[in-house]
Structure 1
Amino acid sequence: MTDHDQTPGWDVHALSGAYAVDALDDVERARFEAHLAHCAECRDEVDGLREAAAVLGSAEPVEPPAALRDRVLEEITQIRPLPPQSTPAPGGAPVELAAARRRLRPLRSGRTGHLLLVAAVLVLVAAAGGLLLRPWADDNPRTPDLTAAERVLAAADAASVDKRFPDGSTATIVISRSEGRAVIRTTDMAPAPDGRVYELWLQTPAGELEPAGLMPDVRDATVLLDGDASRATGVGITVEPDGGSDQPTSQPIAFFTLDS
């Protein structure tokens, strides 16, 4: 569990539904993806909700009752998902959290109808005016203690460059000159081959590539690049031996040209 998972007043697990329908802002997405990298429960939940949303997207459209939107918007304000109680169980996990997760597992394995209903509600809520479930909003105002990656994403001068790969995956570089840092966000990016790793590089004004860190072995990631990006002219991704290299050993599989 990360420090952000322990922020008082909200439960990061509650964001899986909003994440599945792309209803989080950049900062929330970065926080949830940091959690997602080490939470198999949430990865399963997101995968299941995305599958259900895809099924819903291919279904014949049905016109909802005219009063449904108003009813959802009215009643959703009365419901606030609460984080589970943290009384430790003998095995170390909170009693209520362990029980809740046991109840969720059958939904993933067999009760698709319930999962479709959950996804339908999420899609409806997201579409009905952009309402976002923020379980911490009414008693814990957003704090300014953002991580370096979150400051880049939230910066007033943040600029982005996108790349789409042939397999449909995407990568986006977000750079803030005022912060002097850059962030890469990937969506559905295939892992590097066995024994290899994706390495990031910052291009200097002189055209040299300097090591800027390694990508984690997950499909959806938000990663802060190492090094000073305040004057960088580009960002590259290469495939390197495990552990990375001091200099690129292959041509970049992607290069992002940055505006000066």
Structure 2
Amino acid sequence: MSTAELHTLTGAYALHALPESEQRAFERHLEDCEACTQEVRELSATAARLGLAVAEPSPRDLRERVLREITTVRQEAPAHGRRERTGGRGRTGRWYGYALAACVAAAAAFGGVAVWQNQLAQDARQEANQAQRQNEQLAQVLSASDAKTSSSELTGGARGTVVVSQSQNRAVFLASNMAPPPSGKVYQIWFNDEGTMRSAGLMDPKASDDAVLLNGPVDQASGMGITVEPAGGSAEPTSDPVALMDFPTA
């Protein structure tokens, strides 16, 4: 397996989805590849967050209910040395029915867990693949031979850098020391198309340092702006810009 192929296995490795032979080869590759090591760390953290997001704790009163039921259920005497009546279901028939019902319920529960785990794995794979594609696209912009960079000071002591590649027709915004947005708000980035603002995505409200691959092509945009919007973003700016930056031209 070539080194180029190994670079594409970070998502599958983070989800423990590689065959044993490929896993061993990839782990040897990790010993010398800091970029893949970092990407695996980030993808593993993403998968863990997905798991926590859908996990549901047991009801608070579950333990108390079980203990209470134990005290009220009569223990069945040993069957050794006695015979149960065969006329009608009797106690054995009832307990067999209870046991069968319990087995069916358990099977259904474990089946539900299996479905849930499978869905979680699929969601994690999709999230990991999307993150990997974005990281690859972001790296392509930053490493493009025609990449041009422009930096400026933003409000509150923050600093912003925009990198534009005409060959990729994409742009990346790098922020450092950004103050968190107000509660329930988010920073939204906009392309400036000759005065018309076109949404280019949202920044992570919890990250003071962030690297954002702007959504959509640069096309004829001459710059970008940042506004404070309600969580989830807006179709058009609803506040004055907290930052305006021109794209580099030379």
Normalised by the size of structure 2, how large is the TM-score? 0.48
Larger Rg belongs to: 2
Give the TM-score, by structure 1 length. 0.46
Higher relative contact order (CA closer than 8 Å, sequence separation 6+): 1
